[in-house]
Amino acid sequence: MKLSNSEEELMNHLWKLEKAFMKDLLEAYPEPKPATTTIATLLKRMNKKGFVNYKLYGKSREYYPLVKKKDYFSKYVNGLIKQFFNDSASQFASFFTKETNLSKAELEELKKLIDNEIKNR
């Protein structure tokens, strides 16, 4: 399941904080901050989708992620490759290296990462 842009933004704050009360999440946003009701609605939707849960402390809820950032973005990137690049990692790599403004040093670093991954397999 995918998060909306607003949910992803909130989830990024929660991943950084690891666990947070509503006031902590609101403080994490830049000005102009969203309304408390907006954050509450997003959290409720994300809870129903299985991305967050909470512990009750009296009337306060401490939220925490149920999905790791790495796992979410791995699934997201794999979905992009499948949907936009005919499930071809090489088409994705070609697009990524040609259509982004990577420096020669960054391309060399990518090459090193790929070479290391090949060695490890």
In tens, the pLDDT along 81-118 reads 888 899 888 888 888 888 888 899 998 998 899 889 89
Q: Which CATH number fits domain 5-65: 3.30.43.10, 1.10.260.40, 1.10.10.10, 1.10.1200.10?
A: 1.10.10.10
63 — pLDDT class (breaks 50, 70, 90): very high
49 — pLDDT class (breaks 50, 70, 90): very high
- Torsions phi, psi for 78 (to 5 deg): -60, -35
Cis omega before residue 32 (within 30°)?
A: yes
- Given the structure tokens 């990577």, which residue do they identify? 102
- The CATH 1.10.10.10 domain(s) of the chain lie at 5-65
Alpha-carbon distance 79 to 5, whole Å?
A: 16
According to the model, what pLDDT value does residue 22 have? 96
Segment 18-42 mean pLDDT: 96
pTM greater than 0.85 (yes/no): no
- Torsions phi, psi for 41 (to 5 deg): -65, -45
Residue 20: other Cβ atoms inside 10 A: 21
Inter-axis angle of helices 36-48 and 5-17, to 10 degrees?
Answer: 90
Residue 39: other Cβ atoms inside 10 A: 20
Selection from 69, 55, 80 nearest residue 16 by Cα: 69
Question: Does the structure show a pLDDT above 80 at 1?
Answer: no
